[in-house]
Amino acid sequence: MSCPPDPALPAASEAADPRLSRPWPGPWGGVPPWDDVRPALFPPAFERGIAELRAGIAAITRNGDPADFENTILALERTGRTLDRTQVLFGVMVENSNTSEYQALDLEWSPRLAAAGDEVVFNRPLFARIAQVYEGRHDAGLDPEQTRLVELVHDRFVRAGARLEPADQARLGAINQELAGLFAGFSARVLADENTWVLLTDERDLAGLPASFVTSARAAAAERGIAHGWAIVNTRSSVEPFLTWSHRRDLRERVWRAFKSRGANGNAHDTRRLITRIVKLRAERARLLGYPSHAHWRMAETMAGTPDRAIALMQRVWTAAVARVREEVRDMQALADAEGAGIVIEPWDYLYYAEKVRRARFDVDHNAVRPYFTLERMLEAAFWVAEQLFGLRFTENTGAVPVFHPDVRTWEVTDGATGAHVGLFYFDPFARPGKRSGAWATAYRRREGFDGVRTPIAANSCNFIKGAPGEPTLLSLDDVRTLFHEFGHALHTLLSDVTYPSLAPTPRDFVEVPSQLFEYWAGVRPVLDRFARHCRTGDPMPQELLDRIGAAETFNQGYATVEYLACALIDMDLHLRPDGIDDADAFEREALERIGMPREVTPRHRLPHFSHLFGSDAYSAGYYSYIWAEVMVADARQAFEEAGDPFDAPTAGRLRRYLLAPGNSTDRAEAYRLFRGRDPEPEALLRLRGLTTAVSNRS
């Protein structure tokens, strides 16, 4: 498909409300105009953005001069700005405030936006110019960053179908458009199931639950218009604490089943038919593009490179993790038997009895720990760590920056030494109806420096359970790690120092390195000593409690590793199939049998609600990336430990220079070698997760 002969903007767009189409107004090079965002404004903004994209591409292809870096590659980098900005705004609203209006827009426009992207890739005159620059890149006097940009742009066009014959491009475009609609439908259905809850109506239902959780559950019920009772909302941030603390086994099973059956209830929100269609379309697309499977296609530009390399790592860790789960279940069953519970450990018992074993073995009661982890102080801790490592300072804005919800707060980020503006940080911490579950980071704007410097804007979204009015929001240890994890993604965006925007995003299996590494500082002594203060008294966490938390750091890692790795292994199995699947339930059941999934553990994400895989292509055949990145993370942590200081300046400097600032402007494996002086050692991962003893016991 080529661009239309007339690139002029449609007359309807000229008359349309231009607010979402304009460059962002305000300070610091512009900020997202959230106070102007309305569902009805997106269609004309999309239309204008697509029209401007077409006009920009037409200008490139009509240029009579020979193709070169400036008139083709850089011109392409400058093209589509309006559409990019509009899609950022729309994506944030769909994830954080997904009303029925936004769901309808998503279903309508996702296929149209996919078609607009394909229109660029399938433009034969455009690709001919890109190929001309690519073929002459070594004789054009380009610097290394420019050469890498040319190579990445060319290779991405090829992988997206630029070389296919017109008939195959037409079929590929149809697949991409259908997939875009299916992704939007999947996300809407999962969100509908996540916007349900289990209602507790009797005070006896609250047995074992800490007071702060009970208060939050009551507030969640009130927020949903329920006058009496306590709502256990069907999201991880509400369900996992309930499964950990509730003495009521019948209610644990009820809450667990509701959570694990999201997307698989046989109602209008059921996703299983969508899954089979998505997987078949992905397999067909891979064949069209000349790849053995969707997994091979997706991994072509990753660090792992091939499914076999990712699977080899996962299987090595899987064996040790399953062995540890056997040990954990043995200990839990022994405790349950000693109590006379008369049960066999089931999946809805795992977190509850694991907590009992933790208390017995390490004398760590997470209910006693939570008062030391308030959201406000842990956020201050994350900012303080960023200042110690990288000299960044965060100053909260007071009303000067528009936000899309009253819960959202913003900070200006500056260089602590010079006071120079670095970027902006947005934080949306709390769960609410219409917001998808989980936690994630978004780059509203990435840094670039080829047309004047554009400074970055980074955002984090979490789903913490808000404290009652006048009460602090208390976090669990896992919540604190989540906060630091997502903030690590934000720092990656804020510290990026690339010239060209296409070089900012890193390969999928590297992108989790900064986030997972930043979790390390959530548990170092200087941070805990300084910021883990009791919410009532302000007293620091007692030294003996700090010591017990440290001793329990690798506790229950069999469970944590198995529930994650099962998802990653199933993802790879699913997307290695050249013809897709016919039955999502049967495939999932048989895949778990093939890998030897322990009966007492279920995957962290079952297929019917696995948004990483079916809400987009982003993590499809890529969920392994967390464990791949963790090999580098475990090894990188050792660099600070070997230095004897978690804030060692030379090590932090290398981390910023080689791993965070360059984006994808340099090869990521070589970048790691520059940071560490060698390749990462996989054994560090087993040590980090405390699985080396499981390997020893098994051998």
The residues carrying an active-site annotation are 486
DSSP state letter for 198: E
Dist CA 491 CA 127 (whole Å): 35
Query: Of 559, 547, 545, 645, which Cα lies nearest the Cα of 603?
Result: 559
457-464 vs 440-445, strand pairing mode: antiparallel
Per-residue 3-state assignment (H helix, E strand, C coil) for 148-180: HHHHHHHHHHHHCCCCCCHHHHHHHHHHHHHHH
Q: Which amino acid is at 469?
A: P
Residue 213 contacts residue 241 (beta carbons within 8 Å): yes
Tokens of 100: 């029925």
Q: What is the dihedral of CA 462, 466, 472, 478, to 10 degrees?
A: -40
Q: Which amino acid is at 292?
A: P
Tokens of 90: 């729309």
The continuous run of DSSP H or E covering 333 comes out as: helix 307-338
Roughly what angle, to the nearest 10 degrees, separates helices 236-245 and 249-260? 160
Residue 605 contacts residue 263 (beta carbons within 8 Å): no
Sign of CA dihedral 652, 653, 658, 662: positive
The continuous run of DSSP H or E covering 415 comes out as: strand 409-415
Query: Which own/partner contact pairs does 251-256 have at CB distance under 8 Å and 24+ positions apart?
Result: 251/198, 251/200, 251/205, 252/348, 252/349, 252/352, 253/346, 253/348, 254/198, 255/198, 255/348, 256/347, 256/348
Q: Which amino acid is at 290?
A: G
Strand partners, 426: 410, 459
**Helical H segments across 11-99, by residue range:** 11-15, 42-61, 75-78, 81-96
The SS3 of residue 474 is strand
